[in-house]
Amino acid sequence: ILLLFGCVSGIKPRPKFTAIIHAVTPLVSQSQPILKLLVAVAKSQYCVQVIILWNCDKPLPAKHRWPATAVPVLVIDGESKVMSSRFLPYDTIPTDAVLSLDEDTVLSTTEVDFAFTVWKSFPERIVGYPARSHFWDSNKERWGYTSKWTNDYSMVLTGAAIYHRYYHYLYTSYLPASLRGLVDQLSNCEDILMNFLVSAVTKLPPIKVTQKKQYKETMMVQTSRASRWADPDHFAQRQSCMNKFASWFGSMPLVHSNMRLDPVLFKDQVSILRKKYKDIERL
């Protein structure tokens, strides 16, 4: 993988990103989180295009249901509608940077801009907001997964993260069909698998930006499809995935870090007018 990845390392990334929003619930209200997210992302000075990956089993919404934006919005009707399809190497991605988003992610335009600014300095890594960690459970003699708020982390979830589009090619072409099939069967763990892949390539941890404990919209849309995060088996599945992935990689590739990058003067007791990303502190 390291030889293949040579095309990424040492090359200055193009100064824009393409956002991919993974949609799995039907559009029934103009107040749904996905529409708020679309507007916020499209306002970013670095965004060139937003792709809505429609992995919902309901028909595509009419064009007028989507808000008007300053950048093009492309809706792709996923044929297989499986979780791994969010990491396909779509020809419609014109930029090096991909901003990967879940439909119920809560991010402001300022937060998007800051994350992308950080990513430009670390284009080989995953850069984003929701952090998670792994640990060795000596009692069970297996790897564990935790979402507890701690001082370190080893994963940044792809529900709100930026990474190089080359990882789409590695995810699709290098990883075995058995691992991708497990992800698709469970509709879970795709973010963990992507973190395993990136850390295996770089031998480095991802990068978390700014303190943000909540990145999911709490308002539940009234649909017949419940959120996968509400599934009681969701956490157990992720524990199992950790060990199956580690087994295939032959070791644990994830690397711990306690570094968090914040804007200059973040939370400093100075005038808010002196801060470039001042809106972040008001969230």
Q: How confident is the model at residue 10 (pLDDT cuts 50, 70, 90)?
A: low
> How far apart (Å, rounded) are the C-alpha atoms in residues 135 and 145?
7
- Tell me: pLDDT of 212 over 70: no
Supply the range of the domain harboring residue 251.
Answer: 4-282
The total number of structural domains in the chain stands at 1
Instruction: Give yes or no for residue 215 having a pLDDT over 90.
Output: no
Return the ∠ at Cα 248 (arms to 203 and 181), rounded to 5°.
115
Per-residue pLDDT at 208 exceeds 50: yes
- Check whether 47 has a pLDDT greater than 60: yes
Phi first, then psi, for residue 268 (nearest 5°) are: -70, 150
The residue written with tokens 């935790």 in the block is 146
Higher pLDDT, 283 or 248: 248
Share of the chain above pLDDT 90, in %: 73
Under 8 Å CB-to-CB from 248, ≥6 apart: which residues? 176, 178, 179
Average pLDDT, stretch 136-148?
A: 94
pLDDT confidence band for 210 (50 / 70 / 90): confident
Which tokens go with 97?
A: 């940077």
Q: Specify the range with the lowest mean pLDDT, choosing from 145-154, 160-169, 187-196, 264-273.
A: 264-273
CATH number of the domain enclosing 120: 3.90.550.10
Q: What per-residue confidence (pLDDT) applies to 227?
A: 52
The tokens describing 134, both together, are 């792994």
Distance separating alpha carbons of residues 157 and 129, to the nearest angstrom: 8
Mean pLDDT throughout 110-135?
Answer: 95
pLDDT higher than 50, residue 193: yes
Which pLDDT value is given to residue 207?
A: 97
Residues annotated catalytic, as ranges: 191
The two tokens of residue 106 are 């809560």
At residue 264, the pLDDT reads 57
Facing residues of 98 across strands? 18, 163
